[in-house]
Amino acid sequence: MFFDCFMIKCIWAIEMNIDEINIASLAYLGDSVYELEIRNHLLANSKAKVNDLKNESIKYVSAVSQAGILDRLIENGIISYDELSLVKRARNYRPNSKPRYTDIKLYKKATALEALFGYLYLSNNTNRIKQLIKEIFGD
């Protein structure tokens, strides 16, 4: 996995309290962390062609998929109390723009999942990221 061999420290995040970073920034970073982990998992567990892998990844990275994944993680008690607090804060965040391909409720849930991954990444909690990815894939 990516985090086993390479970890970048964000200078701006080190200089401030992670809890003070706004949700949009956490989600922006978390989007890339989440997608990278999804791609890594698919590559590590499939011999499919890249186009097939791309189509498979859409099942996990679209806003609709992310919203459903977040609901499942919450319903199954996978999300901790502290993580749930962040997720709720992120769901209540008011974006400056309207989503193009989904409704606002699903968009906010997807943003919450991305913010969680961004938070975990900045907290250097790579083990938790791996646990969540395993849960998402049912490993």
**Token reading at 12:** 């701006």
- 123-132 contacts at long range (C-beta below 8 A, 24 or more positions apart): 123/18, 124/7, 126/3, 126/4, 126/7, 129/3, 129/33, 129/37, 130/1, 130/3, 130/37, 132/73, 132/78
Region for residue 16 given its phi and psi (left: phi exceeds 0; alpha: psi -120 to 50; beta: otherwise): beta
- The angle subtended at Cα 86 by Cα 78 and Cα 137, nearest 5°, is 35
What pLDDT digit, counting tens, does each position of 40-76 carry?
A: 999 998 887 888 899 899 999 999 999 999 999 999 9
Summarize pLDDT for 88-110 with one digit per residue, the tens: 999 888 766 666 777 889 999 99
Q: Which residues are catalytic?
A: 31
Q: Can you tell me the mean pLDDT for 33-40?
A: 96
pTM of the model: 0.86
List, as one string, the DSSP characters of 68-106. HHHHHHHHTT-S-HHHHHHHHHHHT---SS--SSS-HHH
Report phi then psi at 49, rounded to 5: -70, 155
- The size of the chain, in residues, is 139
